[in-house]
Amino acid sequence: MRRRITVPIEGRTYDVVVGHGAISELRSLIPAPAKRAAVVTQADLPFTVDLDIPHVTFHVGHGEQHKTLATIGDLCRGFARSGFTRNDVVIAIGGGMVTDVGGFAAASYHRGVPVIHVATTLLGMIDAAIGGKTGVNLPEGKNLVGAFWQPSGVICDLDALGTLSQREVRCGYGEMAKYHFLTGDDLLGMSLTDRVARCIEIKAEIVASDEREGGRRALLNYGHTLAHALETATEHRIAHGEAVAVGLVYAAELANVMGRVDSERVEQHRIVVGEEYGLDTDLPPGLEPSALIELMRHDKKALDGLTFVLDGPDGVEVVPGVEEAAVLAAFERVAR
């Protein structure tokens, strides 16, 4: 069974199609004026897509080291050489790195052309492809340059998940675990289609209320403050979902240090992340807390000192101005 979830952005509402064989509905999402497509993907991607309109394929490299401004420049120059116009469409096919890069190139070329995301990873389906946040990394931090650019539609074909390595599936679980704590939903009691759809529904509702991350949308970054620092500090040897898993447990420990949640709530985080999803919950060895703190100071949410999304008596919320002593104390609780 397939599901259609509407992301109700004012003036730019679009559908996300979820389910096995969902790629068959791609044509229904392509804007009517589009005569040609610029397909942004990666070489040797095991999930293939047949398009019935003329298209040119552009390959981007594998890995976060290719998520750069140079890649955006290469794509836009390729679009220009191929004569693409605002009446054409970019179709980004791949995981979160591809949809981030493809979306940013679409937002930049001719100051904005339509884009459709075909997410082929669990992480991409429940997070990166939804909500219009695009961007690339700088040496100073993750996703520091980008644009808000909503897609014309998103395809989440669950058949693509059968092509993933176990590590890529685990990365998706790291992001999926986040939604347990934003809502309290029993996601593990749902079918895969319904579970993915429910994560998308949660994100769609939050994005619709705060498209530009002026307030509530920042809740979707639960666990991400430390996660982004871990990715940068390890030069992305620890993948995004793996880093989010550690970041979720760290955020719970930090909230406990600050008196916002009790030990039982911390244990709930460890059970969901570590036992139910089977993810690592402690810091990788060899990382200096002082270096991670410096990276977290550059996080894009950091408007007033060290800023975290933390659980508390009123649920998950943004907490600015966190004392460094509390941050260090929480690090001791997740050290191996």
Tell me the catalytic residues: 111, 133, 175, 203, 213, 217, 221, 224, 228, 240
Measure the CA–CA gap between 156 and 169, rounded to whole angstroms: 14
Establish how many alpha carbons lie within 13 A of residue 288's alpha carbon, considering only the half-sphere containing its beta carbon.
4
Residues 93, 120: contact at Cβ < 8 Å?
yes
* 226 closest CA partner among 139, 331, 154: 331
Query: What own/partner pairs with CB < 8 Å and gap ≥ 24 does 188-193 have?
Result: 188/276, 192/158, 192/161, 193/1, 193/2, 193/3, 193/18, 193/19, 193/20, 193/158
* 26 closest CA partner among 48, 9, 57, 43: 48
First to last CA, the chain: 43
Residue where the block lists tokens 């669950």: 158
Q: Ramachandran region of residue 114, left (φ > 0), alpha (ψ -120 to 50) or beta?
A: beta
Residue where the block lists tokens 């459709």: 116
